[in-house]
A and B are shown apart, each in its own frame.
Chain A
Amino acid sequence: MKSSKVTAITVDELVRRFTAIAIAQDKAIFDENNVEYRRLYDQMQAVTKELKCRSGDQRSSLLPLYTHPNLQVRLMAALDTLDIAPPASREVLQGIVDFRRYPQAADALAAIWRIDGKPLVQD
């Protein structure tokens, strides 16, 4: 994966990077490689933060990923857009729960619980 700074690339490139990171996360999960997953998670946070900082909050550019064939891509796109597209992201999360592929189904259900005021831990 390219290591160019997220501040120096276009929104389209950021979305492509988000997608590539999520696909790599899916593989890291399958391989039970949490060290790699943590590295990728930090990278994704940087991409999402950069999209949010761009004019008009460009996280909306992640919405087309709701129909991506990879479940981890759909999950991360839904989680990172919960506050800008609440009903649509929830629908994606419910679809992932119903798909019953773990651990994505577990993370999607936990997110729905949180939306419904039942987070895994109290703040």
Chain B
Amino acid sequence: MINDFLKAAAYWLVSAAARADKRVALFLTALEATQWLANRYLPYIAAYRDPPQTWEELQQNALRPRPGYDIHHPVEQTPARSDGFPSSVVDGPGNRLSIPTLKHWQINGWYGRPNPQFKDENDKIVSPRDYLRGKSWDERLRVGKKALILFGVLKL
């Protein structure tokens, strides 16, 4: 339930800020006044409002854990391991980025939903995750970078 509040608040704030909605400042003031809520969830909301960053910045930030951020693997770990890529590469620094936790959740969800831009050999619409099964590391990384750009995490 509290995660629903967190998600709804963060998603609304980013969208409202893009429209210069004056209620953003009021909402943040009210949230800060509710201290237990603010202490626990403001880092996630603040991180979700980050502007896009460069690949190098996202990689550098992965070296220091911060509240509100997750380690994101642009080449998904489990499918890559299943397809035989070595742990040294899958878990290596080249595949570790620090991104806002809520964006991490959203990108994970995106990988699992059917998407008309991804089709299997029978021309059936599949999810990015299903499409990437059996593909090269470079192709996985290319799609992983595009996803980060689409979600406003990686600077174009």
- Chain A residues packing against B (C-beta within 8 Å): 29-30, 32, 34, 37-38, 41, 45, 79, 98-103, 105-107, 109-110, 114, 119-121
Contact = CB atoms under 8 A, between A and B. Distances in A.
B18 A34 contact: no
B151 interface: yes
B118 A103 contact: no
17 contacts: A29-B113, A30-B4, A34-B109, A37-B114, A38-B113, A79-B116, A100-B152, A102-B152, A103-B109, A106-B106, A106-B150, A110-B115, A119-B117, A120-B128, A120-B146, A121-B117, A121-B118
B146 A102 contact: no
B18 A99 contact: yes
Give the interface SS of chain A, mostly helix, strand, loop or mixed: helix
Interface stretch (B7-15, B32-40, B77-85): B7-15
Contacts of A41: 113-114, 125
Contacts of A100: 14-15, 17-18, 152
A112 to B, nearest CB: 10
A32 B105 contact: yes
Contacts of A98: 18
Nearest to B110: A103
Nearest to A38: B114
B55 interface: no
A36 to B, nearest CB: 11
Given A102-B11, A107-B150, A121-B139, 4 more contacts: A38-B114, A45-B125, A100-B15, A120-B146
B96 interface: no
Q: Name the residue among B14, B117, B125, B151 with the largest chain A CB count within 10 angstroms.
A: B117
B73 interface: no
A80 B113 CA distance: 17
Contacts of B31: none
Contacts of B115: 107, 110, 120
Given A32-B105, A32-B109, A121 B150 contact: no
